[in-house]
Structure 1
Amino acid sequence: MAGSEIPKTMRALVAPKYCWPEDGYEVVELPTPQIRDPKELLFRVHAASIATGETQVARGAVRFLLGKSKMPIRLGVEGAGVVVAVGAEVTAFKPGDEIYTFTVTRPMNLASAGGVCAEYAVTREALAIRKPAHVPFVDMCTLANLVTVVQAADRALEELRANGVEGGLRGKTVFVAGALGALGAPAAQLLKRELGAGRVVASVSTAKVPLVEALLPGVVDRVVDYTRVPRLADAVPRGSVDLVFSTQWGPEGTFALADRERGVVASLAGAPPPALLRAILPPLPAPVYWLAALAQLWYAFCLRGTRVRYFFLSGEPSVRADLVRAVDLLARGTVKALHRVVPLDDIVAIRAEAQKVATGKGGIGKLVIQIV
């Protein structure tokens, strides 16, 4: 598409005010973004994802920490599409190239990030990667979560070795919380298919129990309905798990499952330690760091008397080598994208599915908005 054919306005998904998705997300007409840096490129977005953090920003849950957002709040930091124009110093891409991008880097200013869930978006050359020809655009929009899982698995293997566990995950038991979630689904597949975990135990809610084998065939060896037991340890024997992948808030609820002498708990959705908070977000009020430090003390208290190694990981899709690995896993079919796809034209469905993202209840896989 020549520059003269790029429209002056476009459709975009926004929160016109601080609100829950079901109370106000809209598709509106906005000016088409322009390249303002020689290392930027403009692409026609075919698909974009919506993540939990964006919905929290859009409902104002973190405005006292990150500052007020400019209205309307533009949604989407991850997407895939076709390049239509490039800056003067862009050398790796040209118009017509199919790409994927995650548009924010550390420290992430979530109050001003976003805007990929629109017909056009701008990204930096360094944050884009070519889309394999046979991988659908909608599948590419699960990559940020897959990168996070890859990075967490690398760290987990290091921690297992530090605890005297050799041989990787071969013959080992792993537990994945939320196996049909945006993080749990790629985690279960990676641990089983790529890393060879001997036994995968996973938790889901009642309605999702019959869906696990259909959506993740041959991946999960035992499914646990976490809503039917007061504690996970009532369903999974204490100390029976070598590696716990906690993808939901409250990682301490999984601690009892880990082998007391050599187990590892990887948390992808808990309270980050203060040092990591400083790395991933702009400066925050001092009490936030104090609370984060207290959370680490709480986790340590819960693990007292054991040799279980615990860590929290926040994914970093801008790490090129890990992004390349994730694309390869997707391209080979080792990890298959699990998502629910909603067209940009259906605002009623978008609100309903985004509400599931915001509440963490009911959704299957990643929410992807299809634009083309």
Structure 2
Amino acid sequence: MKAIIIEAFGDPEVMKIAEVERPVPAADEILVKIYAASVNPADYIIRRGGNEGLKPLLKLPMGLGIDGAGMVEAVGGEVTRFKKGDRVYGVPNYLDGSYTEYLAAKSNQFARMPQTLNFNEAASLPACARMAWNGMVEKAKVRPGQRVLVHGAAGGIGNLALQFAKACGAYVIGTASAYNADFLRELGADEVIDYNTRKFEAVVSDMDVVFNATPTTSVDEALRLRSVPVIKEGGIFVCTHGVWPSEEFKSLLAAKNATVAMAGVDIDHYKCLTEVARLVDAGKVKPVISRIYPWEQAAMAHRDIESKHVRGKIVLEIRKAD
């Protein structure tokens, strides 16, 4: 089979389509015939050599891609929830890579994809949906009538966090560029703040939830500190980056009886993706795709996402649907 691999860290050109051995699923795994994979910031971070947390885990040669959609080709002897032919979406085993024709993964990392979506659309969801769902629904526990502020609301995680909050009945305010204002209103945003012309802390207050989905992997401590005054007593700030906020930030929140939570911790992927599929099929949530590239153009897709100005997701089409 073929897969995109890297034999050295560096620019997008290090990605090559190569012949590799087709995996055999273990007893608790499924073998998925991949039709599409999404492109995430984690992909180019890994391609460049990783951050401090990832560096010790990266071993060349390796694949790329952290989510995808396809059809079950085979199941391990202990797997009971899937059968051959099921259309599924989810995440591979850690760092195995989803830019591939076939992948083996734990069965609890996948779920049946929404019936109303094609493979490209379904592939755009898993990595971001698990973060947005875990942070907004499971950690923040958003309820009807609450006020929610989403930083970076037009990005892959942000637009889903906004949609999940609306599906829960919240009043949602999103920060984004003016270019994305109408787009966010179409997704259900009650208000949109252009971060280039207005400071959010000057125009919003009494937020039950502040969800930080800004498209950066650096620690934006300034944004966190600026968010403290807008959080109401007993509110919550949700992070989507892998570095905890400072002690100063946590102390300021504690003074307001507010808390901070990290999205992406202790995720039940099967449960999360099953619930997301239900909302999609009910018409309450929709995938947002910026562009679909054939996987032969993976380098172009990486340059696109590295611009950090992508609306929604970029998808690599691995093969055409049958």
Quote the residue 1:336 is aligned against. 286
Equivalent position amino acid for 1:175 in 2: L
The structure 2 residue matched to 1:349, chosen from 279, 286, 300, is: 300
Matches within 5 A, 1:140-179: 140-141=122-123, 142-157=125-140, 168-170=143-145, 172-179=146-153
Scaled by the length of structure 1, the TM-score of the pair is: 0.74
User: Which segment is superposed worse, 178-187 or 326-335?
Assistant: 326-335
Instruction: Please state how far the C-alpha of 1:18 moved relative to its aligned partner.
Output: 1.3
Instruction: Please state how far the C-alpha of 1:94 moved relative to its aligned partner.
Output: 3.2
| Mapped partners of 1:298, 1:15: distance in 2 | 40
Contact 1:342 1:369 (C-alpha < 8 Å) held by counterparts: yes
Quote the residue 2:315 is aligned against. 368
Quote the residue 1:101 is aligned against. 90
- Secondary structure of 1:19's match? coil
Quote the residue 2:117 is aligned against. 135
Q: Note the alpha carbon deviations across 1:17-62, whole angstroms, 9 max, x for none.
A: 21243xx242312214220523333222111122222322221133
The structure 1 residue matched to 2:200, chosen from 196, 215, 232, is: 232
Instruction: Please state how far the C-alpha of 1:342 moved relative to its aligned partner.
Output: 1.9
Q: Note the alpha carbon deviations across 1:213-246, whole angstroms, 9 max, x for none.
A: 35x2xx11211111224x4313x23x33222111
Contact 2:39 2:301 (C-alpha < 8 Å) held by counterparts: no
- Secondary structure of 1:76's match? coil
| Mapped partners of 1:254, 1:347: distance in 2 | 36
| Mapped partners of 1:156, 1:115: distance in 2 | 28
Q: Note the alpha carbon deviations across 1:335-365, whole angstroms, 9 max, x for none.
A: 1111232221324532322423xxxx20111
Q: Cα 1:303–1:317, aligned 2, differ >3 Å: closer, same or farther?
A: closer
Residue 180 of structure 2 corresponds to residue 208 of structure 1:
yes
| Mapped partners of 1:345, 1:27: distance in 2 | 9
| Mapped partners of 2:241, 2:226: distance in 1 | 12
Q: What is the aligned-residue identity percentage? A: 24
User: Which segment is superposed worse, 327-336 or 148-157?
Assistant: 148-157
| Mapped partners of 2:302, 2:99: distance in 1 | 14
- Secondary structure of 2:36's match? strand
- Secondary structure of 2:276's match? helix
Q: Cα 1:317–1:362, aligned 2, differ >3 Å: closer, same or farther?
A: same
Quote the residue 2:225 is aligned against. 252
- Secondary structure of 2:83's match? coil
The structure 2 residue matched to 1:222, chosen from 167, 182, 191, is: 191
| Mapped partners of 2:112, 2:54: distance in 1 | 35
Greater strand fraction, Structure 1 or Structure 2: 2
| Mapped partners of 2:152, 2:250: distance in 1 | 23
Quote the residue 1:269 is aligned against. 241
Contact 2:65 2:99 (C-alpha < 8 Å) held by counterparts: yes
Instruction: Please state how far the C-alpha of 1:128 moved relative to its aligned partner.
Output: 2.6
| Mapped partners of 1:317, 1:144: distance in 2 | 11
Give the structure with higher Rg (CA). Answer: 1
- Secondary structure of 1:262's match? strand
| Mapped partners of 1:136, 1:320: distance in 2 | 19
Q: How many residues align?
A: 310
The structure 1 residue matched to 2:67, chosen from 66, 72, 78, is: 78
Contact 1:98 1:131 (C-alpha < 8 Å) held by counterparts: yes
- Secondary structure of 1:189's match? helix
Instruction: Please state how far the C-alpha of 1:323 moved relative to its aligned partner.
Output: 2.8
Contact 1:74 1:117 (C-alpha < 8 Å) held by counterparts: yes
Equivalent position amino acid for 1:15 in 2: I
Q: Cα 1:334–1:25, aligned 2, differ >3 Å: closer, same or farther?
A: farther
Quote the residue 2:100 is aligned against. 118
Quote the residue 1:15 is aligned against. 6
Equivalent position amino acid for 2:250 in 1: A
